[in-house]
Amino acid sequence: MSARRQLSFEDLGTPLVEATLVVVDLETTGTDPASDAITEIGAVKIRGGEVLGEFRTFVDPERPIPAYIASLTGITDASVAGAPRVATVLPMFLEFVGDAALVAHNARFDISFLSAQAARCEIGWPRPLVLDTLALARRVFRRDEVRDHKLSTLASHVGAGITPDHRALSDARATVDVLHAIIERLGPTGAATLEDLSSAHRRATPVQLRKKHLAEDVPSVPGVYRFLDAREQVLYVGTSRNLRSRVRTYFTAAETRRKVLDMLPRAESIRVIECTTPTEAAIRELRIIGSEKPPANRHGLTPQKAMWLRLGSGTEGLRAARLARAETDGSAQIGPLASRHDVEPMRGLLTDAVLGRGASFEQGAGGALPRGRPRDRIRRAMLTDPREVLDHVAGRLRAHTAAGRYEDAEKLRRLTLTFLEAARRAARLRAIAEVPLLVAARPSTDPVIGGRGWELLATRHGRFSGTALVPARADPVAVARSLAATGAGEAEHAAVMCQGYHQETEILLTWLESEGMRTVLVEGEWSQPALARFDAEHLAERFARTVPASGA
């Protein structure tokens, strides 16, 4: 474990000169995070007044850019042609951000888009500390000094080195200059830490000030923190790469969530579980929330209540199912589904694709299917090869767009993506659940191991079994063998399709799909069918094949 600098409580906070900040700006197709999309991300990473790096990319919004937006930003459909989709960009952006705090002008807009897109792509949103230069500027620059608090006005007022022009990186660079001017103004008022700056336009509540001593002994390591009441019942659980930094924010004005502010009066202590890696911390957090169901967490995790779409054995048709079952009898299932309301539309999509539009098999509960080839084709589309369904959808999409029925086309596209995502999740869970033991490694720059080495992860049937950090000079294979000899008890909880713990498995799968990952030890076989391309790119390819021949 690396040495930790123990701060006095009076010094509680991250000095601004040591704080890493990422100033971000987005361009989008509109103003609604629920229905509009990101077209460009620009960001500047700074520390102590020095620029550490920049991030900029166009993003394919997967929809036309409205003319007025194109006129405002200069970003057209041609600009984003060939750009990566948000599901590809977001992980790269979050890697760029790391543990830094985020800064934006009118941060509610940018952060709402980023978090909404993360949720849509099922990418964990790290809940970083956020600074809003708009809110800070309203305190620092009064109306008798500036006519308004638009970024362009402020940039001109402070003599920014670049003029905002509604392009992401330019606006982010201008925001950096505005932020530095704000910090200079607030310095004489005692805003010396990141936490001071984040709450400069607010005040901590009396309860926060009274309870802040609870954070005194929290270490600066990855792990899980638990707020406990007087009877040592868990009130709230969270995780962080830096426990001390995260926990102390609960006692500053930067914390405004109602569920937390309502919890703090009952909190009497904070207990932490130090973890080797953030992945271990995330798994432990999941397990604690699932078992303790703390009242202040947004909701208790109940993976055992997951919903699946199942094709039964024999003549049993497609229906909703609460439990995943073995598929050795010829049955099949995909999911877990985000909502039970997806079941009926998805069932219609599959039967239309294989049996024809309007086909119905209501001979039994859930809709019975005849034995033989049609049933086998539906099973194949669910498990190994979705091309028949995608070709059916591509033809309908082409007809809809040719007739100008764009709303119908978008509705069908979204339903198909829901099917693909359910099949993709099931394929990943099915494959890892069959592996008795998997030990993998990926490069690590954790300071505990001197900044360069390996992070090892062991799983058993898709359950977390162990983790370790290995310096570059040490033998990772020897550590892998040690991990393989521990955690055998996790196999006792193994279930078909990781039923009951799929959220945990999906965290592990994200790790296993990360750049530089290498398999070290494996028992059994970890593989997926070669044709099982359950992704939006596959749909786009099949749609491209429907383009009418020239001159037709």
Of 224-233, 324-333, 496-505, 522-531, the one with minimum mean pLDDT is 522-531
**Residues 400 and 476 both lie in one domain:** no
Instruction: Give me the half-sphere count of Cα atoms (radius 13 Å) on the Cβ side of residue 337.
Output: 24
**Residues 371 and 445 both lie in one domain:** no
Domain boundary among 181, 198, 215: 198
Q: Which residue reads 């596209």 in tokens?
A: 413
pLDDT on residue 277: 92
pLDDT on residue 17: 86
Checking if the pLDDT of 287 tops 90, the result is: yes
Peptide bond before 336: cis, by omega within 30 degrees of 0?
A: yes
Per the domain annotation, does 92 fall within a domain? Answer: yes
How is 291-304 classified by DSSP, letter by letter? HH--TTSSS---GG
- Which residues on neighbouring strands pair with residue 234, listed in sequence order? 228
pLDDT on residue 134: 94
pTM of the model: 0.68
User: Exposed/middle/buried for 115, CB within 10 Å: 0-12, 13-18, 19+?
Assistant: middle
Q: How many domains does the chain have?
A: 4
- Mean pLDDT of the 62-83 span: 91
**Residues 412 and 446 both lie in one domain:** no
What are the tokens at 204? Answer: 């901590």
Q: Which residue reads 């001593």 in tokens?
A: 213
How is 18-34 classified by DSSP, letter by letter? T-EEEEEEEEESSS-TT
Per the domain annotation, does 4 fall within a domain? Answer: no
By residue range, what is the domain housing residue 219?
A: 206-299
pLDDT on residue 239: 92
How is 99-122 classified by DSSP, letter by letter? TPEEEETTHHHHHHHHHHHHHHTT
pLDDT on residue 378: 94
Confidence of residue 551 (pLDDT cuts 50, 70, 90): very low
Confidence of residue 115 (pLDDT cuts 50, 70, 90): very high
Please provide the size of the chain in residues: 552
5: left (phi over 0), alpha (psi -120 to 50) or beta: beta
Q: Write a three-state SS string for 224-272.
A: EEEEECCCCCEEEEEEECCHHHHHHHHHCCCCCCHHHHHHHHHCCEEEE
- Mean pLDDT of the 404-424 span: 92
Checking if the pLDDT of 550 tops 60, the result is: no
Of 278-287, 494-503, 540-549, the one with minimum mean pLDDT is 540-549
Checking if the pLDDT of 542 tops 80, the result is: yes
Q: What is the dihedral of CA 489, 492, 495, 498, to 10 degrees?
A: -10
Of 100-109, 350-359, 532-541, the one with minimum mean pLDDT is 350-359
pLDDT on residue 9: 35
Checking if the pLDDT of 308 tops 90, the result is: yes
State percent of the chain over pLDDT 90: 61
Give CA–CA dist 392/353, Å, rounded. Answer: 5
Amino acid in the structure at residue 543 = F
pLDDT on residue 13: 62
Per the domain annotation, does 534 fall within a domain? Answer: no
- Mean pLDDT of the 435-440 span: 96
Confidence of residue 1 (pLDDT cuts 50, 70, 90): very low
Per the domain annotation, does 26 fall within a domain? Answer: yes
CATH number of the domain where residue 37 is located: 3.30.420.10
Q: pLDDT for 214-245, tens place per residue? A: 999 999 888 999 999 999 999 999 998 889 88
Per the domain annotation, does 531 fall within a domain? Answer: no
**Residues 311 and 414 both lie in one domain:** yes
Element (H, E) at 537: helix 536-544
Report the mean per-residue pLDDT for the chain.
88
- Mean pLDDT of the 353-370 span: 58
Contacts of 157 (CB under 8 A, 6+ apart): 141, 145, 146
CA 74 from centroid of its chain's CA atoms: 29
**Residues 399 and 448 both lie in one domain:** no
**Residues 34 and 73 both lie in one domain:** yes
Element (H, E) at 145: none
**Residues 227 and 349 both lie in one domain:** no
Domain boundary among 419, 444, 470: 419
Phi and psi at residue 301, in whole multiples of 5°? -80, 125
**Residues 19 and 36 both lie in one domain:** yes
pLDDT on residue 304: 62
State whether the Cα torsion 143-144-148-152 is positive or negative: negative
3-class state of residue 335 by DSSP: strand
State percent of the chain over pLDDT 70: 92
pLDDT on residue 84: 94
Q: Which strands form 332-337's sheet, in the order they lie side by side?
A: 318-321, 307-311, 332-337
- Mean pLDDT of the 56-83 span: 92
pLDDT on residue 368: 52
pLDDT on residue 255: 82
Q: Which strands form 453-460's sheet, in the order they lie side by side?
A: 463-471, 453-460, 437-444, 518-523
Per the domain annotation, does 82 fall within a domain? Answer: yes
Checking if the pLDDT of 253 tops 70, the result is: yes
Confidence of residue 363 (pLDDT cuts 50, 70, 90): very low
**Residues 314 and 459 both lie in one domain:** no
Q: pLDDT for 29-67, tens place per residue? A: 999 998 899 999 999 999 998 999 999 999 999 999 998
Q: pLDDT for 127-186, tens place per residue? A: 888 999 999 999 889 888 999 999 999 999 999 999 999 999 999 999 999 999 999 888
Per the domain annotation, does 551 fall within a domain? Answer: no
Per the domain annotation, does 333 fall within a domain? Answer: yes
**Residues 352 and 480 both lie in one domain:** no
Give CA–CA dist 47/434, Å, rounded. Answer: 46
Checking if the pLDDT of 305 tops 80, the result is: no
3-class state of residue 465 by DSSP: strand
Contacts of 481 (CB under 8 A, 6+ apart): 521
3-class state of residue 322 by DSSP: coil
Domain boundary among 157, 173, 198: 198
Checking if the pLDDT of 527 tops 50, the result is: yes
What are the tokens at 307? Answer: 């919903």
Find out whether 313 and 321 touch, Cβ atoms under 8 Å. no
Amino acid in the structure at residue 498 = C
State whether the Cα torsion 327-329-332-335 is positive or negative: negative
How is 371-405 classified by DSSP, letter by letter? SSHHHHHHHHHHHT--HHHHHHHHHHHHHHHHTT-
What are the tokens at 472? Answer: 């570059």
**Residues 128 and 247 both lie in one domain:** no
**Residues 314 and 251 both lie in one domain:** no
